[in-house]
Chains A and B, each alone.
Chain A
């Protein structure tokens, strides 16, 4: 025990003597979490402060194009810039100056009205409510709303815009049909024959904490994800610490001392776990106090702190286990630092920090199940967003602990084998 305490104290001294290193350990994760949350916040907001400027070429000038224009404006996501010519709009978008141009064709309103009226007349005539006319139906060509996207635009943004416009057009078509029927069957335009409101609606049911719903926001999503990312980055300084012991000769001395490798690693584990918890605490403080001050939603932690710290401890242990293994196997800092950093990014990607696991290909979803970052992220989401209890997160905690024990055991065994006498 005395040797473990001495090793721990030595690690504390080494860490506190490197002020630059400490600053990086604690400040960079905070910068990361603030930056990412600021960037991602708008995607979670229903009312965004930052509007995307888009171009609209209105060749129709009728009621349909007005409805589209109003719909886009009222979505509060776009700032509509009107352009007179399609070619100009196309060039501006393809040169990357704008993300999107919407080209509404000529006579869209007029032709839609004619087409709907013609169809409705035909239906009513079939029912014998009106005399069938001898006249041939007009040949009204299909209309096409053109969308020009900047080639650099992300697919998710394109899909979301396309879906939005498609929905708007469908609604306009439905309303036109109702209107045409109204005109055919009633002389009084004010008489309500059809209810045009949606018959089928949907309501999102959110998990509750007490009587309050837990409403997900960018902070509740980002803080756990990027906190976990930062916690796992402990792999880099920890593995460098072990490699340094080898290169500066202290490890050789320790091998001749009557102290086990497990004790040496134990000291490092305790200190780096404390570092992880301080990092975690700082990130929570940023979420609770700094975020509201800079216009971001407040991180809700009330009643969840004990569980959050339990998840942070186990996630920290998993990260430390990986750092101990990497440091033990790597021979130089040039091996451990880039590998550690890249591996954390891979684990984060596999774990669902950037892209949700459910939209990954099947193979990657399977791989994701063996990423400790995925276990940690699920545990954090269980606590932050699903109002989970200790029992709910127990499987993830056990997986993280098993990961720590296995990686540390491999590190100790590898070291014993390599230095067997």
Chain B
């Protein structure tokens, strides 16, 4: 489904590679977690896979398609939920969704039905016509998610989709994503919530300093480290307890 081969990325002016010779294969209908400390290279990898930035070297394909040859087909195939709220603050939730849905060629009743169904599923239908800048963080995250799935993407990339939201919103979002996955959407997501990743992901990969350290099912990884009780223990054992502040 997603084949990443020897991908590396070095930003201009940076001494180190943000992603270094990374190989990865993600199966169809997987929920794949990309985990790692701050600055590990998770967002860079997702940005490369979503065609937002160009890798320094290496290649990748999604469903056998590459951006160089099938840019628009690939864009139709994937959805991305960015870390920031990529929404127009003065437009209502409905207006935002209508616009972003239109960019995928959706229109008319079909688009309206999809918007209403998603808003209802995520508990936002009563607020559909309120401007985004009156929404709480959790509500914005949910609209941000809907804007990325209206075109029924085969692959959904989520960059920390539950950051800064309350437990209720988080549960609704995770439940919604699990439903999408059951319908056949492959999900690749990054998170710092390791408990969430442990229960949500079918497989995870831990990345540090741009390199893939380990990958596998959460239960398998926990089993590899006898002293580890959960994924967080595994994570700390692998990446260490030192702070990862950088500027």
Contacts and interface: CB of A to CB of B under 8 A. Distances in A.
Interface stretch (B30-38, B46-54, B114-122, B173-181): B46-54
A255 interface: yes
A362 interface: no
B129 to A, nearest CB: 12
B76 A6 contact: no
A255 B214 CA distance: 31
Contacts of A156: none
A421 B89 CA distance: 29
Contact of B85 (A9, A249, A255, A257): A249
B86 A249 contact: yes
A3 B98 CA distance: 11
A256 B54 contact: no
B102 A258 contact: no
Interface string B67-108: 110011001101110101111111100010011101111010
Interface string A167-180: 00000000000000
A258 B105 contact: yes
Interface residues of B, number: 35
B82 A249 contact: yes
Contact of A10 (B53, B78, B91, B147): B91
A82 interface: no
Contacts of A249: 82, 84-87
B80 to A, nearest CB: 5
A259 B103 contact: yes
A258 B72 contact: yes
Given A2-B107, A13-B95, A248-B88, A257 B53 contact: no
Given A250-B88, A420-B54, A10 B99 contact: yes
A2 B88 contact: no
B137 interface: no
B86 A250 contact: yes
Interface string B49-62: 01111100000000
Interface size class of A (residues with CB under 8 A): 20 to 34
A331 to B, nearest CB: 14
17 contacts: A3-B102, A3-B103, A7-B99, A10-B91, A17-B131, A18-B90, A248-B88, A248-B89, A249-B82, A249-B84, A256-B51, A256-B75, A257-B75, A257-B100, A257-B104, A258-B75, A421-B52
Contacts of B148: 253
Interface string A249-290: 110111111110000000000000000000000000000000
Nearest to A16: B90
A14 to B, nearest CB: 6
Contacts of A421: 51-54, 67-68, 71
Nearest to A420: B54
Given A2-B102, A2-B107, A253 B131 contact: no
Contact of A253 (B78, B86, B98, B105): B86
A248 B91 contact: no
Judged by DSSP, the binding face of A is: helix
B91 A6 contact: no
A259 B54 CA distance: 19
B8 to A, nearest CB: 15
A17 B133 CA distance: 12
A252 B86 contact: yes
B103 A258 contact: yes
Contacts of A420: 54
A118 to B, nearest CB: 86
Contacts of B85: 248-249
Interface string A221-262: 000000000000000000000000000111011111111000
Given A13-B88, A249-B87, A256-B52, 10 more contacts: A6-B102, A13-B91, A13-B95, A17-B91, A252-B84, A256-B51, A256-B78, A256-B79, A421-B51, A421-B54
A253 B80 contact: yes
Contacts of A253: 80, 82, 86, 100, 147-148
Contacts of A10: 88, 91, 95, 99
Contacts of A254: 103
